[in-house]
Amino acid sequence: MPDLAQHYNAFTEACFKEGVLSQKDKQLIPLGISLYSQDEYCIIYHTKGCIDQGASEAEILEAVGVTAAFGGGAAMSQAVTLVQEAMTQLNQQNP
């Protein structure tokens, strides 16, 4: 199992490297997927990733809006609670 985890981590690191898509875009995409799948850990993790990669609040909220248009009320409820709470807390830690 440790080998599998090591290979998986190497795979995800390669996926999130700068490429045709920026690292910021590569955080906004999984944020939307996390919202759609209602994975609270990943929502917080990728909200932080978006902020760390320089995404503005407006960019994050637009990505959230696109997800809500596709994912409906469940995605929107996570967006207006967990994402906004995470942004507030993370921005207080990184002024």
Give residue-wise pLDDT tens across range 48-94.
999 999 999 999 999 999 999 988 888 888 888 888 899 999 988 87
- Is the pTM for the entire model greater than 0.85? yes
- Round to whole Å and give the CA distance between 34 and 67: 9
* 3-class SS string, 6-66: HHHHHHHHHHCCCCCCCCCHHHHHHHHHHHHHCCHHHHHHHHHHHHHCCCCHHHHHHHHHH
- Is residue 38 domain-resident? yes
Other Cβ atoms closer than 10 A to 6: 10
- Is residue 15 domain-resident? no
- Residue 49 sits in a domain of what CATH number? 1.20.1290.10
Tokens of 29: 């995409």
Specify the number of domains making up the chain: 1
Residue where the block lists tokens 């760390």: 52
- Is residue 6 domain-resident? no
- Is residue 81 domain-resident? yes
User: Which residue segment(s) compose the domain that 47 sits in?
Assistant: 23-93
